[in-house]
Amino acid sequence: MTTRLSSRFRLALCAVAFATAPAFALDAGAAAPDLNLPGLADAVTLAKLKGKVVYVDFWASWCGPCKQSFPFMNDLQSRYRAQGLEIVGVNLDAKREDADRFLADTPARFTLAFDARGESARRFEIKSMPSSVLIDRDGRVLAAHKGFREEDRKELEARIAQALAPR
C-alpha cells in the first residue's frame, strides 16, 4: 500500500511540475554545465563529447512519458549518430535497480549515465521529468524541452537536424 501511495504521490508531483514549472532556467547560448557521472561502462562527461551535438535527456523509472521517449531517442541516435549526434540519458533514480528494471523493458541504444543524488539535474536547473537540453558542438545550450508527447517529435527532430547542419 505504501508503494502504491508513493507512486501516486510521485505521479501527482510530476503532473504539478509539468503544469507549473519551466523545464530549465539555463539561457540559450550559455555554456552547458559539465556532466561527470558513472555510465554503464565508463564515466560520462560532456567534455569528452565536445565537437558533437549532444541531446541530454533527464529521466526516471517512474516517469510515464520517459518510457514513451526512449524509442524516439533510439531512432534519433541511430539515424543521426554519423552526423555527430550523441544522446545521453541521465537517470535520476535513487536506486540503480529501479533504472535497471526500466531498461530491461525499455532498452536504450544511446549513452546512459546515472545520478542517484540528482546533482546534474540541479546544475541543469531541471524542474520536471522528462526534460532535455540540446547542446551545440561548442558546448553551449541551444534549447531545452520539458515533457514528451508524440506531437513533440517533429519539433525536437527539427531542432536536432538544424544543430547538425554544416555551418
Segment 15-54, tens digit of pLDDT: 333 333 344 457 888 999 999 999 999 999 999 999 999 9
The backbone torsions φ and ψ at residue 3, rounded to the nearest 5 degrees and listed phi first, read: -65, -40
Residue 55 and residue 87 in contact, taking contact as beta carbons nearer than 8 Å:
yes
What digits encode the pLDDT tens for the residues 66-115? 999 999 999 999 999 999 999 999 999 999 999 999 999 999 999 999 99
Cα 51 to chain centroid distance, Å, stands at 19
Tens digit of each residue's pLDDT (9 = 90 or more) over 109-138: 999 999 999 999 999 999 999 999 999 999
| Total structural domains within the chain | 1
Q: Are 18 and 152 in contact (CB under 8 A)?
A: no
pLDDT confidence band for 8 (50 / 70 / 90): very low
**Distance (Å, whole) CA 26 – CA 144:** 8
How far is 110 from 75, CA to CA, in rounded Å? 10
What pLDDT is recorded for position 59? 98
Domain of residue 108, CATH code: 3.40.30.10
Helix (H, G, I), strand (E, B) or coil at 108: coil
* pTM of the complete model: 0.84
pLDDT beyond 50 at 2 = no
Domain containing residue 147: 2-164
The dihedral through the CA atoms of 154, 56, 68, 129 has a sign that is: negative
